[in-house]
Amino acid sequence: MGLAFKNIGLIGKYADDQMGDFLNRLITHIRRHEVQVFLDKGTSEFTPIPDIEILDRAAMGKRCDLVIVIGGDGTLLNAARSLVEYDVRLIGINMGRLGFLTDISTDQMEHRIDEVMTGGYVTEERALLSAKIYRDGAEISSNIALNDVVIHKWEEARMLEFDTAINGRFVNSQRADGLIISTPTGSTAYALSGGGPILHPALSVITLVPICPHTLSQRPLVIDMENDVEITISDSGHARARVTCDGQISLGVQPKDRIVITRYENKIKLIHPADYHYFELLRAKLHWG
């Protein structure tokens, strides 16, 4: 049987003491398929592996057709943002806790990777969000997120005050600890803790979930992903704010700044074992009966 992938990139969890053992074990196994194996530059700086070619993320995106991410969901989120511009598939091996995105367990990884290498997998595309911050009409910073963009208070126990508009039409003013703008992928992350709904990943929608709103009538709102969401930080508030993408990238904002969230132009391609089922994953991870 022919191989579905010929050039395999490996990205490991940053600064994990067990990573060397897992990488060596996986590399030894994958090389039995007589394929090219590459290691992420950032991973190699903390976990050096002998006799393997090192690639930065751009080179990995151009040269690899499959990237295996070993770690937790945070490691995969980081990999997805850096590789979304390239035609590469991602699959995750879970060394974290929940593992909604990294759904292969370490005790099954050789068997599951063999299945994937010989075509036993399903592919799905996941949408990302773009977050841009404008000050005095000029864009001052931007980034992307697979899970969520969060506007939140920073360093002070005071509520934020902000206005929300969708497609240029005013929606509401809020006083809250912040706002989570979540993709379906992120609906099982921070948005779920904030009382938001679980969204099937095939849906083209986003949720706006208030964080501890002062007015309890402020409820999560689900809208089409093609809508543009604009948040303006009020200059009448006293709390300082930050914008965080996937809980990993932090952007500073000031009163009167506008945060514009739109669907990102590219999608990331995730693959799973052939018997993957989203509702089975939810049942296992959320301990449903």
pLDDT digits (tens, 9 = 90+) for 261-276: 999 999 999 999 999 9
Give the CA dihedral 102, 103, 104, 107, nearest 10 degrees: 100
Q: Where residue 236 falls among pLDDT bands split at 50, 70, 90?
A: confident
pLDDT of residue 237: 63
Q: Residue 137 and residue 144: Cα distance in Å, rounded?
A: 20
pTM: 0.95
| DSSP three-state, residue 269 | strand
Over 70: is that where the pLDDT of 238 sits?
no
Active-site residue list: 73
Q: Residue 261 and residue 231: Cα distance in Å, rounded?
A: 8
Over 70: is that where the pLDDT of 240 sits?
yes
pLDDT of residue 1: 56
Token pair listed for 155: 């360093």
DSSP 5: -
- How many C-beta atoms surround the C-beta of residue 216 within 10 A? 7
Q: Residue 12 and residue 270: Cα distance in Å, rounded?
A: 17
pLDDT of residue 125: 97
Domains of the chain: 7-119 (3.40.50.10330), 128-265 (2.60.200.30)
Token pair listed for 159: 């509520």
Higher model confidence: residue 15 or residue 207?
A: 207
pLDDT (tens digit, 9 = 90+) per residue, 130-151? 999 999 999 999 999 999 999 9
